[in-house]
Structure formats: C-alpha cells, structure tokens
Amino acid sequence: MPFAEFTDGLRVGHEEIDHQHATLFDAVNRLHGALRTGRSREEQGGILSFLRSYTVDHFQMEETYMKEKGYPGLESHRVLHHALIEQVMELEDKYAAGSMTLSIMTMHFLKDWLTNHIQNEDRKLAVFLRANP
C-alpha cells in the first residue's frame, strides 16, 4: 500500500482537479519512497522540486477556475494555497542549502495537508463548479 493512497473518497468529481490531485499524491509517494530507501539528496531534491512546481501550477489552475466562475470563497482558498507554497518553498530552499534532511514528519505534514485541503476546500470548489458550469 502506498504511503499516501489516493482513494476514491478523495475524488471531488472534477476530472482535471482529480487527475492533478492523483499526480500530487504520486509525487508524495515517490518522495516518501526515495526517503525510505535512502536515495541520494539529488534524487530527493529533484522530486521535491517537481512537487513544488506542480503544486504551484495546480493551485493556479484552481484559482483560474475560481476567478472565471466568480467563486465566493476565492480569497480564503487562495490564502491557504499561498501558505502551503511558502512552506514548500522554504523546505526546498533549506534542503537545497543542505541545512536540513527530509523527515517522515515532513512527509506526514504534506500528506495530511493535501488530504484536509481536498476534503474541506477543493470539494466545496468542485460542488460550486458543478453548479456553475
């Protein structure tokens, strides 16, 4: 069983959003695997960097939908996105500077953040998008 399983319960019913969430979970699993099997810093750093850039793109995609459709929760949703990006960028910088190693705690943080965000925020957005196609 993967570390972060993208279960059906995590699907919000929007094809593009679900697909990107699955890719994010996949990257978290790859990073977890690289950590667990003691892969090189280079390899771990590469996955971390992919995770950061894919997360930025994914959040932008959601925010574009919110803007286009006049989603009332845009501002608060965007604040949450922004806060995670800041944290992941800090993580990436520290990691690249050699001042930290990835920990299982970090992996749990990422997995829990994504899970909670999808269930609480992205699900609301998907419901809105279905009602406002």
Task: Work out the angle at residue 111's Cα, subtended by the Cα atoms of residues 124 and 107, and round it to the nearest 5 degrees.
Answer: 160
In the DSSP assignment, the letter for residue 24 is H
- 55, 24 Cβ separation under 8 angstroms: yes
Identified binder of Fe ion from the candidate list 62, 71, 91, 102, rule CB under 5 A: 62
Smallest gap from residue 5 Cβ to Fe ion (A): 17
77-106: contacts with Fe ion (CB under 5 A):
none
Considering all CA atoms of the chain, what is the largest pairwise distance in Å, rounded to the nearest integer?
Answer: 47
- Is there binding between residue 122 and Fe ion (CB under 5 A)? yes
- Name the one range near Fe ion by CB under 5 A: 3-11, 25-33, 58-66, 97-105: 58-66
For residue 102, give both structure tokens.
Answer: 């990835």
- Is there binding between residue 18 and Fe ion (CB under 5 A)? no
- Interface residues with Fe ion (CB under 5 A)? 62, 122
